[in-house]
Amino acid sequence: MENSIDFRNATLVRRVGLSALKKELGTVGMTYFIRQFNTGQGNYTAERDRLLEGIAFDDVVKNVRELDARGAQV
């Protein structure tokens, strides 16, 4: 690859990157690779807050230490 690419130019970086992926992985492989990085859906922050409601950080640390002391595989 040439070192003269202006990495501040997002369009150029995308075009060169996709070309490199296609060259190395083929069209199907490139597509599968790109699909790994989807933006997802929903509101991660709200979901995380709902799931962790009432759970204190100190309790998590305590539980991890207890599991570690027992040699538990997580």
pLDDT for 6-56, tens place per residue?
Answer: 889 999 999 999 999 999 999 999 999 998 987 778 898 999 999 999 999
Q: How high is the pLDDT of residue 5? A: 85
pTM: 0.47
End-to-end CA distance of the chain: 42
Q: In 36-56, where does DSSP find H-type helix? A: 44-51
Across the range 57-73, mean pLDDT stands at 91
Q: What is the C-alpha to C-alpha distance for residues 72 and 34, in angstroms, rounded to an integer?
A: 35
Which tokens hold the place of 62? 């305590």
pLDDT at 64 > cutoff 80: yes
Q: How high is the pLDDT of residue 2? A: 53
